[in-house]
């Protein structure tokens, strides 16, 4: 699953520490 993260807007948020869990990621619905 980690492979797609850098390729997405979500990945950018994760890398910035704005989203730390998959639950938060799903809640953003990006």
pLDDT digits (tens, 9 = 90+) for 6-25: 667 777 777 676 666 667 76
Structural contact between residues 17 and 24, judged by C-beta atoms closer than 8 angstroms: no
Structural contact between residues 30 and 12, judged by C-beta atoms closer than 8 angstroms: no
Q: Quick one: three-class SS letters along the chain?
A: CCCCHHHCHHHHHHHCCCCCCHHHHHHHCC
Q: How many domains does the chain have?
A: 1
Q: Is-above-0.75 flag for pTM?
A: no
Domain carrying residue 25: 1-30
Predicted local distance difference test score (pLDDT) of residue 3: 60
Predicted local distance difference test score (pLDDT) of residue 20: 64
Q: Please provide residue 29's backbone torsions phi and psi, each rounded to the nearest 5 degrees.
A: 55, 35
Structural contact between residues 18 and 1, judged by C-beta atoms closer than 8 angstroms: no
């Amino acid at each position: 699953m980690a492979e797609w993260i850098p390729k997405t807007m979500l990945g950018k948020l994760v890398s910035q520490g704005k989203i730390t869990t998959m639950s938060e990621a799903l809640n953003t619905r990006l």
